[in-house]
């Protein structure tokens, strides 16, 4: 992370604050919100801003849909205005992603079909990013990388993707930004953007492999006594225990 200035908007406030914190990404606007979420603290506890506490709505862990749930195939709609509802969604996505020990999550995966995704590929789990209406501006290079997905628990396969991308999006203050990404971050952004189009990483595999994966997931759901066994469907509003929990140390998206 490069030292710089962090543009920070309070979740429910109209004015912005500019804080001298790390950040070379305007998207990091979301980081303050994210630190609060991942630590269980609040903005006030981090920055001594007591007046912010009343502005924060508690974040909610949402149920993650599992493959082959047909709702994962819906195309997400663009966000017209980045308002408190969208910021709440971003916060809920981060909360859900951290609880599931994932490194990325798209709104589609929690059955909200809006173009919002969140990521945190840092080792410390303290650098959340929020992308609203993301678009790939340019892409170059191509290489295989191993991917997992919170909606396809415990399955990891190699997928070919662009190795360098430039992405444009809105941050949680509604500000447009562009950023360059490579390596794991580039893979994550592309993986999550696929979710917004109703596409899953298993779509890049052969039909035979997809069938094997479907069967394996069904068997695992039965073994863990999941009442959803056979349907492949996560129940909306189900408690956090109903989400896909990775049982390996490898990150999922």
Q: By C-beta, is 52 or 66 nearer to Zn ion?
A: 66
Q: By C-beta, is 64 or 173 nearer to Zn ion?
A: 64
Binding part of the chain for Zn ion, among 78-86, 144-152, 178-186, 210-218 by CB under 5 A, reads 144-152
Which of 32, 130, 149, 244: binder of Zn ion (CB under 5 A)?
149
Residue 23 binding Zn ion, by CB under 5 A: no
**Cα–Cα distance measured from residue 59 to residue 36, given in angstroms and rounded to the nearest whole number:** 10
Binding part of the chain for Zn ion, among 48-56, 142-150, 164-172, 206-214 by CB under 5 A, reads 142-150
Asked if residue 56 lies in contact with residue 47, where contact means CB atoms within 8 angstroms, the answer is: no
Residue 188 binding Zn ion, by CB under 5 A: no
Binding part of the chain for Zn ion, among 22-30, 61-69, 147-155, 241-249 by CB under 5 A, reads 147-155
Residue 196 binding Zn ion, by CB under 5 A: no
Angstrom CA distances, 119 to 16, 17, 69, 108, 179, stand at: 23, 23, 22, 14, 14
Q: Residue 131 CB, nearest distance to Zn ion (Å)?
A: 14
**Cα–Cα distance measured from residue 119 to residue 172, given in angstroms and rounded to the nearest whole number:** 13
Q: By C-beta, is 25 or 201 nearer to Zn ion?
A: 201
Q: Which residues pair with 17 in a beta bridge?
A: 8
Which parts of 10-128 are beta strand (E)? 16-19, 104-106, 116-119
Annotated catalytic residues are 192
Peptide bond into 68 cis (omega under 30): yes
Q: At what angle do helices 31-39 and 84-99 cross, to 10 degrees?
A: 40
Q: By C-beta, is 33 or 253 nearer to Zn ion?
A: 253
Residue 253 binding Zn ion, by CB under 5 A: yes
């Amino acid at each position: 992370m490069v030292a710089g200035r962090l543009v920070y908007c309070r979740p429910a406030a109209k004015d912005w604050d500019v804080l001298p914190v790390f950040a070379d990404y305007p998207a990091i606007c979301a980081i303050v919100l994210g630190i609060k979420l991942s630590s269980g603290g609040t903005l006030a506890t981090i920055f001594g801003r007591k007046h912010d506490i009343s502005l924060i709505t508690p974040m909610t862990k949402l149920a993650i849909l599992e493959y082959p749930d047909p709702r994962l195939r819906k195309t997400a709609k663009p966000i017209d205005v980045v308002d408190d509802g969208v910021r709440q969604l971003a916060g809920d996505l981060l909360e859900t992603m951290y609880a599931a020990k994932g490194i990325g999550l798209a709104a589609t995966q929690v059955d909200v079909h809006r173009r919002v995704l969140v990521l945190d590929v840092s080792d410390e789990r303290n650098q959340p990013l929020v992308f609203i209406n993301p678009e790939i501006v340019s892409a170059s290079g191509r290489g295989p990388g191993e991917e997992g997905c919170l909606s396809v628990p415990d399955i990891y396969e190699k997928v070919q993707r662009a190795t360098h991308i430039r992405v444009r999006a809105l941050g949680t203050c509604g500000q447009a930004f562009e950023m360059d990404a490579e390596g794991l971050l580039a893979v994550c952004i592309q993986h999550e953007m696929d979710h917004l189009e109703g596409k899953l990483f298993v779509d890049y595999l052969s039909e035979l492999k997809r069938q094997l994966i479907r069967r394996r997931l069904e068997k695992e759901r039965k073994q863990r006594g999941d009442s959803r066994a056979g349907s492949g469907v996560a129940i909306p509003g189900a408690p956090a225990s109903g989400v896909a929990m990775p049982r390996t140390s490898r990150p999922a998206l």
